[in-house]
Chain A
């Protein structure tokens, strides 16, 4: 009797958990509005017939995750099956890519990441494979990018003036970097191809670099636009340039770093990949679904609000060309990384 009571208790505990979990996550289910699923999936017989898993290389809360999840939701409407995003994180996305590059090739496994991580990890030697270890599906967005920022009262207003100031006083201007990632590549280009003579200090991730800049530990650094925007607006910091190849569509009046240092183009684009060996028809069909899913007004508004960009979605061929272009650029930096 006592034992049965105990059993019931354990059960009640477990079930109460189930109740809590179930009630609050039901709101994530898709609100499918279109019935065009038959049209797009005709490329491959019967695909998609079950839940599609999308593995996201970066943690929930970041931009890579947000964009991936927005895409998944939009894809559910087009494909008519569940598209579930799961985060497998670590080492700037390398953990996930390593784990799923040879994953199931049945068209139900995809990887959502960003191009700077994909090509950057290869260039810095973190991993020994590049985009060609995958079947690229689609580039589906572009980030608002990183800006080179300095305190508002700093004596330089352009990237050229900052570089000149560093040459005039070699090793005196402290530049905050984050060793290993896209920011590191950018710092290396600035130093080796731009000729800057900074005292390079490791200052950690975006938030830490912000702290270091505000606290005066570094004199200049690069920050994601979204992190720096408020400080620029309230007059604590000023932006010298964006590191994107061209300023974001919705914040157009910014000089690009490549005007001063031509090679300094760090474009972070969101990209969907499939494991190597996934049938070409499925890749094409998925690309078509992505194009359709991102062709809506909702998507447009979301991208405008979140990325300060207009929608940027490529077909398979252009996606591969795009990845190759960035890889070649990043590989040209390898000698001094």
Chain B
């Protein structure tokens, strides 16, 4: 029995934490929130330089070939500091699509650039309001040309290419690799609840694309990649939840009211205890997800949904109560509480909303994996 990270992985965590505490203080997140840049380019370059973007990319494609557990460690640390970088789009999604379904040429062309941070990739799936379903995808490819509009696309304005889910000529859903630099692509930055992570609308008009994976397999491949990304995203959420809890705890220790630290009042203390419970359940469920991601593909569908539901719940819980513990100060622009609140509610929707994942979890359990939760 070993449901823990190894000593080497813990060393990596310490190393990443030190790096991020220097390169990604709250001011760096605020600079993206308040400025014109959509992500922190120097931070992203630094992550690439440390080999963190390529942690799970094999060496033959320019990565460092560690593995997904190491990427989980990195994700948690990025989540703790709300790193304003396109790692989820480029690494959890685009790189995983290429690794799982890309042709040799596609992998050789793009993976080294993703690992080095020279290029950013993303996944363009959603087409507006409502839960994503195959029948709601209207973007289509005819004669190798893609037309349609995708929104929101995370990091879409800054990405060099996108993996696009679109209707193929047989009416099925297929995946296509689209360069976003050429003619026929129009991009627009969208306003969101969390401007520290960019979202865009991308419109394609007869854009030349190449297929990624077999025709008609789009939904199947996307589901697999989204499950992988869900575990990594859950680790980001876990890091954010832990940090929001720590902020609330620190404030409760320092803030005096009625002649005593507010953390001595049970109303506050119990709120913090409940946040700790949420974060602890999420951590244990994330470890389960990490184990499945690393070594049990058969259990990944249930484990990914479990980690994702638990971590989404925990981050939302901790970030909203962090504001509550801070009282009025927590609702000021100057305090960092809203950064966590924004990110928790943004991440809760990325890769599918909480209710979508709840539904997926139970559907997957009833499909034969029920004993895994016993």
Binding partners A and B: no
A-side interface residues toward B, CB under 8 Å?
none
